[in-house]
């Protein structure tokens, strides 16, 4: 992509005060951690990328670019830049969040400075990987990124990947920062979620574990940053809405089993294979060291794909019947 195309972006709206957490962010309960499709020669498949991004926007889902599901750490700076610019130029009617992750603070700061010029809506700030910093180190890390950002930020707790949790004291230290909007909590531990909820009650707390949403509804979860929404954009949106409304009767055991099938080997291997089988992306390829060959059988993901689609058809039918009944009652009352 030509760097000169940057001039086509309308950046006037992106340089507003840092404190503006707009209504679109506040109203978005599902963010899809978008995969990055590749071609046979291992370059970015922009045709497939446009298709899957448009389907997320049509479902009303926010899009997270270049996270772990998007294989962001396996992409070059040039590739990441091209992806962000490409998605921005699609002018999708949905919020965009760009992931910031690694262990080199100057590089990540420069990445935030670069992305500040794009018409995006938020950043996902990951815990520095491998180094295992403590309270002071993580406070300094996040504070510098928060200070640099021109958009609201979601801090990302994912100890399974970073090897270190974000300490409670760190989030307390940062709680009054004007750009600290939300957290993505992906420890899979409800006690950790509750500890963050109590430490920073004013911060929007999203689950980073697809299967945890129904269990966290009464604990104050705001929504979900999802992997499975890549394969099931509209059904996952309905799953989240039902979970948040405490209407989870129809969700079990189907959704637990379906989600588990997408994590039978390292993410995003199963979801990319399923999307290829669905015809959403041209190839299931991943960047090394990940490979689609890791999944020995696609039987489970295909079976649950059909079950999720059937569930969603039934949900839509119930919704249509309910609306018709309400309209009939209103007509009688008139």
pLDDT digits (tens, 9 = 90+) for 108-149: 999 999 999 999 999 999 999 888 999 999 999 999 999 999
333 confidence band (pLDDT: 50, 70, 90): low
88 found inside a domain: yes
How many folded domains does the chain comprise? Answer: 1
pLDDT band at 325 (very low <50, low <70, confident <90, very high): low
pLDDT tens digits, 185-204: 999 999 999 999 999 999 99
Look at residue 324 in the predicted model and tell me its pLDDT: 56
Q: 27, 88, 80, 20: which is closest to 53 by C-alpha?
A: 88
CATH number, position 31? 3.20.20.70
Cβ(274)–Cβ(262) under 8 Å? yes
Is residue 68 situated within a structural domain? yes
Q: Could you list the residue range(s) of the whole structural domain that residue 141 is in?
A: 3-245
Q: Is residue 94 part of a domain?
A: yes
Model confidence pTM above 0.85: yes
Please tell me the predicted confidence (pLDDT) of residue 326: 61
Report residue 163's pLDDT band, with 50, 70 and 90 as the boundaries.
Answer: confident
Please name the residue that has the structure tokens 């091209």: 82
In a domain, 39, yes or no: yes
Distance of CA 254 to the CA centre of its chain: 22
Residue 240 lies in a domain: yes
Domain membership flag for residue 55: yes
Q: Write out the catalytic residue numbers.
A: 156, 184
Q: Say what the pLDDT of residue 161 is.
A: 77
In a domain, 299, yes or no: no
How many other C-beta atoms are found inside a 10 Å radius of the C-beta of residue 45?
19
Q: Quick check: is 318 in a domain?
A: no
């Amino acid at each position: 992509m030509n760097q000169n195309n940057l001039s086509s972006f309308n950046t006037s709206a992106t340089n507003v005060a840092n404190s503006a957490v707009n209504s679109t962010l506040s109203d978005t309960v599902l963010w899809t951690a978008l995969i990055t499709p590749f071609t046979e020669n291992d370059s970015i498949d922009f045709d497939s990328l446009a298709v899957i991004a448009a389907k997320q926007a049509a479902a009303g889902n926010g899009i997270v670019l270049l996270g772990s599901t998007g294989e962001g750490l396996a992409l070059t700076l040039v590739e990441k830049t091209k992806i962000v610019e490409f998605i921005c130029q699609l002018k999708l009617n949905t919020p965009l969040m760009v992931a910031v992750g690694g262990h080199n603070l100057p590089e990540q700061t420069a990445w935030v400075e670069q992305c500040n010029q794009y018409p995006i809506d938020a950043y996902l700030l990951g815990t520095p990987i491998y180094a295992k910093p403590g309270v002071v180190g993580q406070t300094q890390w996040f504070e510098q990124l928060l200070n640099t950002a021109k958009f609201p930020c979601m801090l990302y707790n994912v100890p399974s990947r970073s090897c270190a949790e974000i300490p409670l004291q760190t989030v307390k230290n940062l709680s009054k920062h004007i750009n600290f909007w939300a957290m993505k909590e992906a420890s899979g531990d409800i006690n950790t979620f509750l500890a963050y909820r109590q430490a920073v009650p004013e911060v929007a707390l999203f689950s980073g574990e697809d299967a945890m949403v129904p269990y966290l509804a009464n604990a104050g979860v705001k929504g979900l940053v999802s992997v499975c929404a890549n394969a099931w954009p509209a059904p996952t949106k309905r799953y989240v809405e039902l979970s948040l409304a405490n209407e989870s009767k129809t969700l079990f055991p189907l959704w637990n089993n379906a989600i588990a099938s997408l994590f039978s080997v390292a993410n995003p291997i199963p979801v990319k294979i399923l999307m290829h089988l669905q015809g959403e992306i041209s190839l299931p390829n991943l960047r090394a060291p990940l490979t689609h060959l890791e999944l020995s059988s696609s039987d489970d993901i295909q079976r649950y794909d059909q079950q999720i689609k059937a569930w969603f058809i039934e949900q839509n039918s119930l919704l249509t019947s309910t609306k018709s009944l309400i309209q009939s009652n209103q007509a009688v009352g008139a």
